[in-house]
Structure 1
Amino acid sequence: MMKSNLSTSLVLGVSLLGLAFTAQAGSAKNGYDKQKVVYHVNNIHTATGALRNVKNHLNATGDENVEVIVVTHSSGAFSLVDGAMGKKDKNGNVYNFEDTVAGLANRGVKFQICANTIRGKKIDKNKINTYAEVIPSGVAHVAHLQQKGYLYVKP
């Protein structure tokens, strides 16, 4: 009988914890809960799609209901270097990271670039996008944000 009470108490406790977390997070647009998300971008070839995912994420939840941080390192850091261009679309137009980053930053998205990558790839500090914050280590910062409750997205 004691085992049954312990199991019931444990299930009830976990359920209440889940309800408390949901109540604390609050509801967002389209039935989603409010969210804190870190997007991990470490490849220039997937950066265009990653930023499109961020835009779609904001559109789904509403800008005020999600906190998004985009952490870049390795070749993905070039998405935060002015003058860097992405893939061509089917019409031959070249993707412009600067315009996209500015638009997302104006919607509340934070952008971060790895200092190790800046040094290792000899990125001109004067060409780093004005919306980008330099952080010591991209991978360490992704883990840090996860420890703080940010959900991890790797497009």
Structure 2
Amino acid sequence: MNPRDRIKILAAGLAGLGATTAARAENQGLVPAKPISNQPWKVVMQISDSLKQAYEGLINIQNVLELDPQMKFVVVGYGDAIEFLLEGAKTPQGALFSGMIGNLANLGVQFRACNNTLTFMNIPLSKLALEATVVPAGVYEIVKLQSEGYYYVKP
């Protein structure tokens, strides 16, 4: 048997194994997260690149909160992505960010907007989503939260 045939057979076997594992996972449903502490985990998420990153980050938070509703999230927006925290901002799919932000805020997620970015981009505070709190500097806020025990995530 030549080496290419061996690779094809191996690949077919691995594909079958993957399909079996996927089928088992489908039948099990949602697998709950197992906490390693009796205290809720605290996470600070940096959103600074784009509206696409903001959308993906908020979806990530929704997914995590389904697994562990006790987790605490602070989303810090600055730079090019600050727009997601503005009234009327739309996701890449065309939905309003305000709906996602409102739903997550109702679950305890906090949103913080960088004053330096707002000032630099000449964005009035009146355009900011009601759920957002203004902080002096986004990067400073992230570092401060990490010093308070928050885990850092950037989608």
TM-score by length of 2: 0.74
Q: Compute the displacement of 1:102 (Å).
A: 0.3
Q: Distance in 1 between matches of 2:143 and 2:113?
A: 15
Higher fraction of strand: 1
Q: Distance in 1 between matches of 2:88 and 2:124?
A: 11
Pairing partner for 1:39 from 37, 45, 49: 45
RMSD: 1.1
Q: Which runs of 4+ in 1 moved over 4 A?
A: none
1:1-150 matches, within 5 Å, as: 30-33=33-36, 34-43=40-49, 44-62=51-69, 65-88=70-93, 94-150=94-150
Identity value in percent: 32
Q: Distance in 2 between matches of 1:67 and 1:37?
A: 6
The superposition leaves residues 114-133 of structure 1 with CA deviations (integer Å, 9 ceiling, x where unpaired) of 00010011112111001000
Q: Compute the displacement of 1:110 (Å).
A: 0.4
Q: Distance in 2 between matches of 1:54 and 1:95?
A: 17
Amino acid at match of 2:46: H
Q: Compute the displacement of 1:45 (Å).
A: 2.7
Q: Compute the displacement of 1:49 (Å).
A: 0.4
Given that residues 115 and 134 in structure 1 are in contact (C-alpha distance below 8 angstroms), is that contact kept between their aligned partners in structure 2? Answer: yes
Higher Rg? 2
TM-score by length of 1: 0.74
Given that residues 48 and 95 in structure 1 are in contact (C-alpha distance below 8 angstroms), is that contact kept between their aligned partners in structure 2? Answer: no
